[in-house]
Structure 1
Amino acid sequence: MAGLRVVEFAAPLGAYAGLLFGGLGAEVILVEPPGGGPLRRRGPWIGSRRDAEASLLHAAFNAGKRSITLDLSDRDDIERAQVLAERADLVIAGGSLPPALAHEALAGQASRLVTLALSPFGSKGPRSGWLAEDITALAMGGMLTLAGYPDGPPLAACGEQAVAAASLFGATAALAAILRAEAGGEGAFIDVSMQECVAMGQENAIQFLDLEGIVRKRDGGRQRQAGTGVFPCRDGHVYLMAGGIASNRFWGATVDWLVEEGLDGSEGLRDPRWLDSKWLNQEEAKRIFAEIFEPFAKRRTKAQLVAATSARRIPLAPISTASDILASAQLAARGFFVNRAIDDGRVLPFAGAPYQLSATPWRAPNPAPRLDADRDDILRLLEAA
């Protein structure tokens, strides 16, 4: 994406989208208010500092970007921001902007401009003016109904998944719009609702309701159906997906494995009733399977269970802690984590490329910019003919 210019008006909703474009080679200019954008004011922090350069969120999500501060309540700075946006291929706005920076105003001067507008509930509709944070969108998008234990309150997914989903959905749509503009088409205004991204990103819950009239419930820590769910093992937990999903293949392979291991009662799992979803949904079926599988799993580590099931093409995944992820052999082989120096001189691992593309390689971004670090260079860009 070398040669592509992105202007991002600092806001949490657009930060990951800007990072994705920058990682694939685009120039990303981060327009921040005086004092810095919101990610600079949020922890976790580097050591005991609480200043604009010490936020690890800023270090992670603003890596590789260039920074300029503009006061969007000041007429001269609005004009500077307008010129900067008109000379961009993509504008990312995760919050409200002055009318002079609306897509309609900018597109009058740059007809091929793509504007990505991200907001909690979209720019139109009865909730368009509502404010929301990540947990609000998780709730109103439906994800909290699925997260947690059946006998407890809903639990929020970690890592601000709603915010990340809005950036990811928006970046995908923006890239498609840029390709169309480059092929001779017009620019586009992309309106992304964080709530709708959550609703479309929660597995098959919507399809269960739409196609089968079933409202999925949260079942954290339990089997969703016999053979499919969370099971304890020697060093934590694993998620096995054997029963009720492509059951003829996965179930048969799982039963063959358990029989080969000589587990008491495993031969009984060959009975045809175990291919009937109505039976798999019953508590008695879940109890029988757990009594066969859990003692076996508790004697083995996550790694041992993953190796055994991978060899048999049985879907089983470790439930990883943060330490497990840092030590993952798969992520190490991919070179996923990249070491980067932070402001206090330490070198810490940061997430790298979310995917590897042969024709559009990911570039390791430079450290996140100091506040207003690129002001002179960017002002010269504005003054250029």
Structure 2
Amino acid sequence: PPFVKGESAYFISVNRNKKSMTLNLKKEKSVDIVHRLIKQADVLIENFRPGTMEKLSLSYDEVKEINPKIIYCSISGFGQDGPYRLLPGMDQVLQGMGGLMSITGEPDGPPIKVGVAVADIAGGMFAAYGIVVALFNRETGGKGQMIDLSLLDCQVAWLTYRAGSFFASGEIPKPLGSGHPVIVPYQAFKAKDVYVNVAAGNDQLWQKFCKALGLENIMNEQRFATNAMRVKNSSSNN
């Protein structure tokens, strides 16, 4: 839910502008249809659990026999090998295992999931990147290839500078609400009746921000003069 004229809004949101065909891949006739499609396809994408495509006679080795130039992208929760390979990859679980929930939410609060399925979305984006690169490689003299894409890998990649900070300092990142770990002020502040979103991303914007609010008296105070000092004294800046 919700449904619009009998169609799921969720389904439509991720399947708009797509042409679809329903096939029962456990039936030989359906597999024959897929084989015919593979002969003229550039890309095959599948997101079954590892081992399922082999049971359906649609493994990469079998598919490349039909079309050696095909780009075969397998998307799974935890990759095609490893101890978790056969576990289902749900967005909720992946956000937790990938570290995102541990840095989302209010300080000292419970782990919070991002409001949309970012682990699933990240998987789709990284799959698209990988497929485009594989197609480019094929067109420049290469061959078809298989892409083994793990949703957990994609989620960890999205930790970006928070992961970099951990490896540089050894300090475990913590949730900061709407705040930023290395830029201040850069968060939503509660005013009398609404929240005000502030993004003073550098010292010049900090000065403009102070002037707009008539706070010239603190603009050049030593403890707030630079972003590094504002981060250090962020509790004084809230």
Q: TM-score, normalised by structure 2?
A: 0.86
Of 195, 198, 210, the residue aligned with 1:236 is: 195
Point out which structure has higher relative CO (alpha carbons under 8 A, 6+ apart). Answer: 1
**Who is 1:170 aligned against?**
127
Q: CA 1:231–1:202 in 2, change beyond 3 Å: closer, same or farther?
A: same
Give matches, 1:1-385, under 5 Å. 43-46=1-4, 49=6, 54-96=7-49, 97-99=52-54, 100-222=57-179, 224=181, 226-232=184-190, 235-242=194-201, 250-259=202-211, 261-263=213-215, 266-274=216-224, 275=226, 277=228, 279-281=229-231, 285-290=233-238
**Structure 1 alignment gaps of length 5 or more:** 1-42, 243-249, 291-385
Q: Distance in 2 between matches of 1:57 and 1:256?
A: 42
Instruction: Answer yes or no: is the 8 Å Cα contact 1:227–1:241 preserved in 2.
Output: yes
Contact 1:115 1:188 in 2 (8 A): yes
Checking the alignment, whether the CA contact within 8 Å between 1:229 and 1:241 is kept in structure 2 is: no
Query: Which amino acid in structure 1 is aligned with residue 171 of structure 2?
Result: I
CA shift for structure 1 position 65: 2.0
Q: 1:276 to 1:222 in 2, by over 3 A?
A: closer
Deviations 1:188-224 (A, max 9, x none): 1111110110111124111001122222100104564
Structure 2 CA distance for aligned equivalents of residues 281 and 254 of structure 1: 12
- State the SS of the aligned residue for 1:65: coil
Preserved CA contact (<8 Å) 1:150 1:218: yes
Secondary structure, aligned partner of 1:115: strand
CA distance in 2, matches of 1:44, 1:160: 17
What's the CA shift for 1:261?
A: 4.5
Structure 2 CA distance, aligned partners of 1:223 and 1:81? 49
Q: Percent identity?
A: 21
In the TM superposition, residue 167 of structure 1 has moved relative to its aligned partner by: 0.4
Inter-partner Cα distance in structure 1 for 2:212 and 2:23: 68
Displacement of 1:177? 0.5
Aligned to 1:308: none
Matching residue's letter, 1:232: K
Cα deviation for residue 94 of structure 1 reads 1.4
Confirm or deny: 8 A CA contact 1:146 1:217 kept in the other structure.
yes
Contact 1:86 1:107 in 2 (8 A): no
Equivalenced residues, count: 231
Q: Which amino acid aligns with 2:237?
A: F
TM-score, normalization: structure 1? 0.55
Q: Flag structure 2 segments of 5+ consecutive residues without an equivalent.
A: none
Q: Is the 8 A contact 1:231 1:240 kept in 2?
A: no
Secondary structure of the residue aligned to 1:186 is coil
